[in-house]
Chain A
Amino acid sequence: MPATPDSAQRSATISVLVENEAGVLARVVGLFSGRGYNIESLTVAAVEDGRNRSRINIVTSGTAMVIEQIKAQLDRLVPVHRVADLTQQGPHLAREMALIKVVGRGNDRAEALRLADAFRARVVDATVESFVFEMTGSSDKLDAFVELMRPLGLAEISRTGVAALARGTRTI
């Protein structure tokens, strides 16, 4: 007997290798909105010049049954080559990059710089009353840094969304 579907939500990082053709991103995004699935993060870029393929990385959440459904729905789209659930398949790397602008003077400014150093954020722009930090890491790490910057004059954030790969020799 299969267990009744549990209602526990889990997060999933799904990578989709697609034919790089017009409308393919709209198909993927439309599938999520049309069927009521969440998109927490989405990245897309061409990854194989010669073979004209793009990789879409999606962070989503849902019950185990919904995540399986999302993968099956993605997989049956005509221009989709492969779908991988990195969260389920084992150890994987998920990284994103953020640009974070902090505006302030005096102690706050010095504190922001100290924390940036501790988090290995790089200063990529500076004026006498502002910094732009560039930081790469897991989403959790970026979240933590952003929270620390909030009282120190956080002005604006731009994040890329998650890029992800399986650890070890396995590929999509």
Chain B
Amino acid sequence: MSEPAPAAPSVTEALQPGAEVLLRALKDQGVDVIFGYPGGAVLPIYDAIFRQNAIRHILVRHEQAAVHAAEGYARSTGRVGVVLVTSGPGATNAVTGLVDALMDSIPIVCLTGQVPTHLIGNDAFQEADTTGITRPATKHNYLVKRPQDVARTVHEAFYVARSGRPGPVLIDLPKDILIGPAPYAPPAETPHRSYRPQREPDPAAIARAVALLKSARRPIVYAGGGVINAGPEAGAALAEFVRRAGIPITNTLMGLGSFPASDPLFLGMLGMHGTVEANLAMHGCDVMLAVGARFDDRVTGRLDAFSPGSHKIHIDIDPSSINKNVPVELAIVADAGQALAALNAAWRADATKQDRAALAAWWERIEAWRATKCLAYSQARGAGALIKPQYAIERLRDLSAASGRECFFTTEVGQHQMWAAQFLHFDRPNHWMTSGGLGTMGYGLPAAMGVQIAHPDALVIDVAGEASILMNIQELGTLAQYHLPVKVFILNNEYMGMVRQWQELLHGGRYAESYSAALPDFTKLAESFHGTGMRVTDVERLDEAIGAMIASDKPFILDVAVDPAENCFPMIPSGAAHNQMILGPGRQEAAPGVSDEGLALV
């Protein structure tokens, strides 16, 4: 290849091929790693990657995994994850990952190749209407049709991906644009012409929030992933507020880690598989402070019975999240960190006293709910005793903590995910990666890969089920290629466990298609991909197996045979209210019936 042509006399800087300009813009955005898969339309970008060392490329085995890996990278670092895939099938394979990132508000920039501009619309080889397909799958997308737009579009895409409520942004790059000469432009210094999310809270609304919260007799804080997206300062401000006010706090699935699970003020996760104390406190509170949470149906249960009679305050950076499902009395559109800092300042400046007696009575009720020990299970001992999945997670939690290493956990989707959420206990943000909104089976392994790339020395564990793990199992190849010692902890109950649980509870025990037949030998599977595998069936050998997994410096699959009949409790059936939870067998006389409407919910 010859060097790029010298600058034309009229421009101050040399024109370079579009692909070189693209890489330069990525470098200026601080990108150090790209997850991708090559193909015809993106060959010029791969050629540019080949001739530089600043940006590392991680070759995945499927484009969906590239996006999940970028999500894992983004969620564990707070930075924007970057994906590079080719046109047509490369782009369509990435769609699930993009929707996953959209639902969970994860900042991603996805670069897709496209056929040359003159072939667009001609049904060319590997052509797809990528911007059309991904319009509802992304926060925003672009088709670059002019060389002078390459650099500007990349900078704008990063701004859009990380600003306001974060999300995935896609840039479709026709091959002729990547080859032809293009000028470089640095990031714009002027504000974006139309997208300028509000970050500062309205002081009057903050003052009203303080008044409401100080007058509360039964307050609760309900914090979600928005607190984590707002950065570590937001979590610190949240902890400061909750501890000063002495009020209970619950987290959504996405919010776990935004407040330390080990703090006695923490009631655990709420929602469909949340704790009794969290759900009943939400149901019975008189003032609710929702921060960076979106009143998702998995959280609210039956909407008309959701926390009846409470005054609701909602802090969110996305105005469309406010009053979407649940009408709130006080809306504060702002960055969660800035709003919580303002709340702390206003709280300190305000002389009004809290009703401490009422608060003490509220805590007494909460402690009574806590005393039900809703997550209790019984683990039989001795040789031949089946391993309870909850016990396996608890041992994983304790032994990984005892290793003294920084631990990150990802999950697939299903029962194991809920047990992980209930039992892993996170004291810090950004250490828990799970597919919350979209519920994507196959998320955990590639996400763990992205986490391990960002944190090479950390212990990264994908808590998986035997069904989910097969959805992106090909990524064992990526782990081997880059020597990523990701651990896969399979709770193997030989069922799509959550499907089986619903069939048992709601469909008369007709287990249609939920049995995991013809499973592979996971030990041999790991070995064939140059890793280590182990299977454990005996509860007395579990610690030893987990110890071996943690000590291994290779990719490792630990296949844990668990009780196939175990269900995930507590459970709020679809269409039921927070005070209509089902507890485990023998723990509750009668479960509330599920309405027809509930049956239609997923």
Contacts and interface: CB of A to CB of B under 8 A. Distances in A.
Contact of B329 (A2, A27, A34): A2
Interface in A50-83: 65, 68-69, 72-73, 75-81
A73 B318 CA distance: 9
Q: Label chain A's interface by main secondary structure.
A: mixed
A134 interface: no
Interface in A75-108: 75-81
B319 A65 contact: no
Given A30-B136, A80-B194, A23 B327 contact: no
Interface residues of B, number: 29
Contacts of A30: 135-136
B328 interface: yes
A77 B138 CA distance: 11
Contacts of A22: 143, 145
A19 B193 contact: yes
Contact of B322 (A72, A77, A80): A72
Interface string A12-50: 000000110011001100100010000000000000000
A5 interface: yes
A1 B212 CA distance: 12
A69 B135 contact: no
Contacts of B318: 76
A2 B310 CA distance: 9
A78 B320 contact: no
B309 A1 contact: yes
B319 A23 contact: no
B136 A34 contact: yes
Contact of A79 (B194, B197, B311): B194
B160 A27 contact: no
B320 A72 contact: yes
Nearest to A51: B193
A69 B324 contact: yes
B595 interface: no
B194 A65 contact: no
B323 A23 contact: no
A4 interface: yes
Given A19-B194, A76-B164, A78-B195, A27 B135 contact: yes
A69 B143 contact: no
Given A1-B309, A19-B194, A26-B135, A75 B319 contact: yes
A72 B311 contact: no
B135 A65 contact: no
B327 A65 contact: yes
A78 B160 contact: yes
Contact of A65 (B131, B309, B323): B323
B121 interface: no
Contacts of B312: 2
A2 B320 contact: no
Given A76-B318, A81-B194, A68 B139 contact: no
B80 to A, nearest CB: 16
A78 B132 contact: no
Interface string B313-338: 00000111011100111000000000
Contacts of B323: 65, 68-69
Contacts of A81: 193-194
Interface string A116-128: 0000000000000
14 contacts: A1-B309, A2-B328, A3-B327, A4-B304, A18-B194, A23-B131, A23-B135, A23-B143, A26-B132, A72-B324, A76-B165, A76-B319, A78-B139, A79-B195
Given A26-B132, A79-B194, 12 more contacts: A1-B309, A2-B312, A3-B327, A4-B327, A23-B131, A26-B135, A30-B135, A72-B322, A76-B197, A76-B318, A77-B140, A81-B193
Interface of A: 1-5, 18-19, 22-23, 26-27, 30, 34, 65, 68-69, 72-73, 75-81
